[in-house]
Structure 1
């Protein structure tokens, strides 16, 4: 039985910062941002959008009544959780009107969370072939103004429906994982902003890739010749190029050229959004599938997931015949092209805004909600309030 991705969609806030203008404001050569890290625009979330509302909006863009009836598992990978107890999955379950006899919970391991959800869902569907699972990866990446991580911020969500007999990507039932206790990136409970040792994190990422790729080859007897393309977790899009160069360092020229030939298509969406943490690998995969010419039936795509702290995994999937018919390319391109550009002053003011942390009531400015259906209306009696318009 094949198990994999039957539907996929994404959502991002309707406002962004131009990276060239941000670079100029910071006294940095613009090419450092646009070429050096490979980012063109950076999504910025207003107060009425958080990980929950973005995940709900991504899900609402793909779910139909049959999905709502058959989904019996909702798994939400995020490192931007909004409550220490209640999971974002429960809110999304309600906002999307999924049938009530579904299990729902949240998963956390930095940017690896959505991958953990996929792996759990595959096991669930293997035991329950009629089931469907909703997998969510939604985050707001924030490092603060004038920090080294500032140009690698972003906001967005990816939602996937996993099922048997998937129409987009059948996931292979093999993978290689690695866990090590390291401190390359973290965010303490008391901080709104993440901390990162950028150089060490890049080194750890590539070291994990080398390790899990080697283990994957041992387990499966596959090599680069067996892959049409490889997608990566993207804290910034230039990371994919570094990863590809590392992966193909001693590869035959034919394999290196084929894999690098898909690089630009696989980063097209991420360049416009920025880092979305748990969703970034799957936004890259979606970008590859939608921006490339239709890949041949049976083409295998490699997937490298990395979550700082750290967990890495290499796994793969096979594209299904006619998969293009089940994607929403026009919708996603329209979502990106219709956003409003923030001035640098607007961006700086917004980035430093936050909801109260002292238990006081607060309302968000929902009049500015232009895209999406789900949004955060505010906090009342220490409870977050969401609505769907």
Structure 2
């Protein structure tokens, strides 16, 4: 009989790999085409641009390209990966998981557990927590987990939700002795059956009850934070004073503002103070703790499962050295709904790892679309021809034959 594995050390995020499509649409152009005041977008939802996935990109290609970047930047061998989870709500098959496509494209060993996770935008965090618990249990035997959050947020043309689209993926390598963020093993969770956002099996575009979804998000934040406080025996502590930054699931940047205001109001009530007296204090707290996390979200849009981790990658890249040794608070929400509030500490030396993620470079290299080009992408759908020219990526969608989706590698893991 195999001996029991002893306690492992700190567990957390070892590497982040980010990928966004090479196309971007300025929202002021879309606003003009739709007859919507641009202030409604820049101020009302806090967004400036949105990433647009062309017909030859899907959740698999986005995720594989993000994973390839994480593996290359982290100098990780595919043989080190013992658990491969893909979190998405825009999967490509009702039975065959996106994870098995990545398994082949990345050259991961056959002795690796692989599956696809779904709970709207929350499943990326579900994957990270499952991976962390797998490592803490000792079952990993020194191996790493690769969690890939990948999605295309797509809504009907001319709908009110059209301005909150986006696309992208973040690959999260979870390991013992992480080089970026050591995760606290105690988190707070909340779940409730609600219909705030959903996508029936026969629809390509999602349906959303926008105002109700905001209410559900904020109620879930209350519940998850309360559970987190109970787990840490701090029923009335001010979380806004414990962390160097607070990161929120960001379907649109203004949602992070609403969430932080809700958190601060709750802290004031717990301290016996009137939230109506918050005034400039709430704005200052937001500017210090939240605003620095939103740079990528403002110009990428909604990435569903990857949203929180895109914010983390941006913050780490921009403020890495200042964050070392300090704690972060993170809130993940998925419609339907399930939410989790958790925390972690940026480890010594994490700035060196964060500096190589390359989010800013990816964003700067994108090509701007016209509204006509964007609408043509939406009409063409997933069956469109492959491009004549495209950014050099690790892999691409190669078409459908006999109802089977095919993918091909176009680059090296070492690129």
1:330 is displaced (CA, Å) by 6.9
- Preserved CA contact (<8 Å) 1:4 1:169: yes
- Within-5 A mapping of 1:177-326: 177-222=189-234, 223=237, 224=239, 225-249=241-265, 250-251=267-268, 257-258=284-285, 260-292=287-319, 294-326=321-353
Secondary structure of the 2:247 match is strand
1:158 to 149, 170, 173: 170
1:65-94 superposed Cα distances (whole Å, 9 cap, x missing partner): 643121111000000110111100000111
Q: Is the 8 A contact 2:244 2:328 kept in 1?
A: yes
Write out aligned runs for 1:99-110 (5 A).
Answer: 99-110=109-120
Query: Which secondary structure does the structure 2 equivalent of 1:200 belong to?
Result: helix
Q: Is the 2:84–2:113 contact (alpha carbons within 8 Å) kept by the matching residues of 1?
A: yes
Q: C-alpha distance in 2, partners of 1:290/1:267?
A: 12
Aligned partner of 2:104 in structure 1 is: 94
Q: How much does 1:229 deviate?
A: 1.3
Distance 1:259 1:35, change over 3 A: closer
Query: Which segment drifts farther, 118-127 or 134-143?
Result: 118-127
Query: How many residues in Structure 1 have an aligned counterpart in Structure 2?
Result: 383
Q: Is residue 10–residue 158 contact of structure 1 (8 Å, CA) maintained in 2?
A: yes
Structure 1 unaligned residues grouped into runs of 5+: 357-362
User: CA separation of 1:150/1:296 partners in 2, compared to 1, >3 Å: closer, same or farther?
Assistant: closer
Matches within 5 A, 1:1-389: 1-64=9-72, 66-126=76-136, 127=138, 128-222=140-234, 223=237, 224=239, 225-249=241-265, 250-251=267-268, 257-258=284-285, 260-292=287-319, 294-329=321-356, 331-355=358-382, 364-389=385-410
Alpha-carbon shift at residue 373 of structure 1 (Å): 1.7
2:19–2:63 CA contact under 8 A, matched in 1: yes
Deviation at 1:129, TM superposition (A): 4.8
The Cα of 1:340 is off from its aligned counterpart by 0.8
- Contact persistence 1:228–1:258 (CA under 8 A): no
CA shift, 1:265, in A, is: 1.8
Contact 1:228–1:259 (CA<8 Å) still a contact in 2?
Answer: no
CA distance in 1, matches of 2:92, 2:295: 29
In structure 1, the partner of 2:5 is none
Q: Which runs of 5+ in 2 are unaligned?
A: 1-8, 272-277, 411-415
1:174/1:220 contact within 8 Å kept:
yes
RMSD (Å) for aligned C-alpha atoms: 1.8
Change beyond 3 A, Cα 1:182–1:377: same
How far did residue 293 of structure 1 move?
Answer: 5.6
Q: Contact 2:317–2:357 at 8 Å: present in 1 too?
A: no
Give the Cα separation in 1 of the matches to 2:318 and 2:165. Answer: 23
Aligned to 1:360: none
SS of the aligned residue for 1:13 comes to coil
Report the 3-state secondary structure (helix = DSSP H, G, I; strand = E; otherwise coil) of the residue aligned with 2:213. helix
> Secondary structure, in 3 states, of the residue corresponding to 1:20?
helix
Partner Cα separation in structure 2 for residue 317 and residue 270 of structure 1:
21
1:229/1:259 contact within 8 Å kept: no
TM-score between the two structures when normalised by the length of structure 2? 0.89
Q: In 2, are the aligned partners of 1:364 and 1:376 still within 8 Å (CA)?
A: no
Structure 1 residue 331: deviation in Å?
2.6
Contact 2:17 2:357 in 1 (8 A): no
Superposition TM-score, scaled by structure 1 size = 0.94
Distance 1:330 1:382, change over 3 A: closer
Name the CA distance, whole Å, in 1 between partners of 2:330 and 2:312. 8
Q: Cα 1:259–1:172, aligned 2, differ >3 Å: closer, same or farther? A: farther
Is the 8 Å Cα contact of residues 313 and 359 (structure 2) preserved in structure 1?
Answer: no
